[in-house]
């Protein structure tokens, strides 16, 4: 009878995504290798394995190598929830880096919280997460290394007014990311004396044609159109605007979700070979942390190029999970989650190298992790504050950072 009860309890424990204490840390990755956000997601994914390779070379976490389990969320909430279920119930991960799309993270979070596994997103920026965290819905299992769009919406509105834009229309993808950005941008733009001239234009994330939405987005003779869109559908929308003759003379304002040259290329070029959205400007969470220089050098050596958008945030998301597991002395999510805030912003010894941080923690010392994206000081709702890079599309279809704005 005792043996049967012990077996039943063990099976129940493993069934909710907890790791047996004898195993090394299992780290989940839930990011978009395919789908609407894959142009950026594909650049984020290698960052986790690169960090884990470094950590395993310097002794691992809790004396054992870290294993990585990667799932493609396809930029779809249903696929993301299913992938999260596999990560926590089959792979039994102790923490998850992801997701990128806010709508996917919302769907996956229910699974993570239920199984007591922390999620650290490098890019889900909807303000809705803060609101739900304030209600206690996430129970301390949600963090993000990118600041919420409460700040980015204000930053883009500030940039628009700085450029002398008084009349703006908006178009957004109809999900938690788009709706949250629309709300924050329009509120900030109006507070700064600007006018939003069209009725809210929101498009279906699964739309295959967007001619009507493009006309609606450019209605009201705006000086600029703020487009909080994803790559595949956003390209359809802007290409349709060009084909309808709506783009000339209108400043296009873009956001973090489309800061990739693949997106610019998918919108297309005119007969003269110039990008259809040449001169478009946008914002993206910047990276200016103490660890950025070393990460940039490493990325250049391994990948032959500079880190792309959200790569520093992805590195930091993985780093805080690994460091929290070490200070917890446990590879179980329920033990890791409450330690994530402790290893950053706690007044310990500042460190930007993860291996150095692990070594200090093994000695029983406190650390204050200073990341590649920034200081990574999480507040009680799992949020960080950051600055924003201003980027612009060149006539050749390249992207260059031209400024920085702090809301």
Full-model pTM? 0.85
What is the model's pLDDT at position 7?
A: 40
pLDDT tier at 10, thresholds 50, 70, 90: very low
What is the model's pLDDT at position 347?
A: 82
Signed CA dihedral, 21, 27, 30, 33: sign only: negative
Task: Return the HEC string of the chain.
Answer: CHHHHHHHHHHHHHHCCCCCCCCCCEEEEEECCCCCCHHHHHHHHHHHHHHHHHHHHCCCECCECCEEEEEECCCCHHHHHHHHHHHHHCCCCCEEEECCCHHHHHHHHHHHHHCCCCEEECCCCCCHHHHHHHCCCCCCCEEECCCCHHHHHHHHHHHHHHCCCCEEEEEEECCHHHHHHHHHHHHHHHHCCCEECCCCEEECCCCCCCHHHHHHHCCCCCCEEEEECCHHHHHHHHHHHHHCCCCCCCEEEECHHHCCHHHHHHHCECCCCCECCCCCEEEEECCCCCCHHHHHHHHHHHHCCCCCCCHHHHHHHHHHHHHHHHHHCCCCHHHHHHHCCCCCCCCCEEECCHHHHHHHHHCCCCEEECCCCCCCCCCCCCCCCCCEEEEEECCCCCEEEEEEECC
pLDDT tens for residues 205-221? 999 999 999 999 999 99
Contact indicator for 237, 229 with CB cutoff of 8 Å: yes
What is the model's pLDDT at position 303?
A: 86
Q: Domains along the chain? A: 16-148+289-369 (3.40.50.2300), 150-285+390-405 (3.40.50.2300)
Region 141-162: what's the mean pLDDT? 94
What is the model's pLDDT at position 57?
A: 97
The chain-wide mean pLDDT, for the chain, equals 92
Measured in whole angstroms, the distance separating CA 14 from the mean position of its chain's CA atoms is: 29
User: Which pair of structure tokens corresponds to residue 180?
Assistant: 């949250």
Contact indicator for 44, 349 with CB cutoff of 8 Å: no
Residue where the block lists tokens 């993270």: 105
pLDDT tens for residues 61-84? 999 999 999 999 999 999 999 999
pLDDT tier at 22, thresholds 50, 70, 90: low
pLDDT tens for residues 170-199? 999 999 999 999 999 999 999 999 999 998
What is the model's pLDDT at position 2?
A: 41
């Amino acid at each position: 009878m005792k043996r049967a009860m012990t077996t039943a309890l063990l099976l129940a424990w493993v069934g909710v995504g907890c790791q047996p204490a004898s195993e090394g840390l299992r780290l989940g990755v839930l990011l978009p290798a395919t789908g609407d956000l894959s142009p950026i997601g594909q650049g984020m994914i290698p960052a986790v394995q690169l960090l884990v390779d470094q950590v395993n070379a310097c002794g691992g976490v809790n004396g054992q190598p870290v294993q990585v389990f990667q799932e493609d969320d396809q930029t779809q909430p249903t696929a993301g929830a299913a992938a999260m279920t596999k990560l926590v119930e089959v792979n039994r991960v102790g923490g998850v880096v992801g997701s990128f799309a806010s709508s996917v993270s919302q769907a996956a979070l229910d699974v993570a919280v239920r199984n007591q596994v922390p999620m650290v997103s490098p890019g889900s920026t909807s303000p809705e997460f803060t609101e739900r965290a304030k209600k206690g819905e996430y129970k301390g299992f949600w963090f993000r290394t990118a600041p919420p769009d409460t700040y980015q919406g204000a930053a883009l509105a500030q940039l628009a007014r700085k450029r002398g834009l008084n009349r703006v229309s908006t178009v957004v993808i109809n999900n938690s990311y788009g709706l949250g950005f629309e709300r924050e941008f329009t509120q900030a733009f109006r507070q700064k004396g600007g006018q939003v001239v069209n009725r809210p234009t929101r498009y279906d994330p699964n739309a295959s044609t967007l001619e009507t939405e493009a006309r609606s987005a450019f209605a009201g003779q705006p000086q600029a159109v703020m487009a909080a869109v994803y790559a595949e559908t956003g390209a359809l929308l802007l290409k349709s605007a060009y084909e309808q003759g709506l783009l000339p003379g209108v400043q296009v304002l873009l956001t973090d979700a489309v800061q990739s040259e693949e997106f610019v290329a998918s919108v297309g070029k005119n007969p003269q070979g110039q990008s259809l959205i040449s001169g478009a400007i946008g914002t993206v969470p910047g990276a200016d942390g103490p660890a950025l220089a070393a990460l940039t050098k490493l990325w250049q050596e391994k990948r032959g190029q500079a880190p792309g958008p959200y790569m520093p945030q992805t590195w930091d998301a993985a780093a805080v999970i690994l460091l929290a597991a070490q200070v917890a002395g446990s590879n179980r999510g329920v033990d890791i989650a409450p330690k994530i805030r402790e290893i950053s912003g706690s007044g310990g010894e500042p460190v930007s190298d993860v291996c150095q941080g692990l070594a200090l923690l093994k000695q029983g010392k406190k650390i204050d992790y200073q990341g590649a994206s920034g200081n990574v000081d999480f507040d009680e709702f799992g949020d960080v504050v950051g600055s924003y890079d201003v980027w612009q599309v060149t006539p050749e279809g390249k992207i260059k950072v031209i400024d920085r704005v702090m809301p």
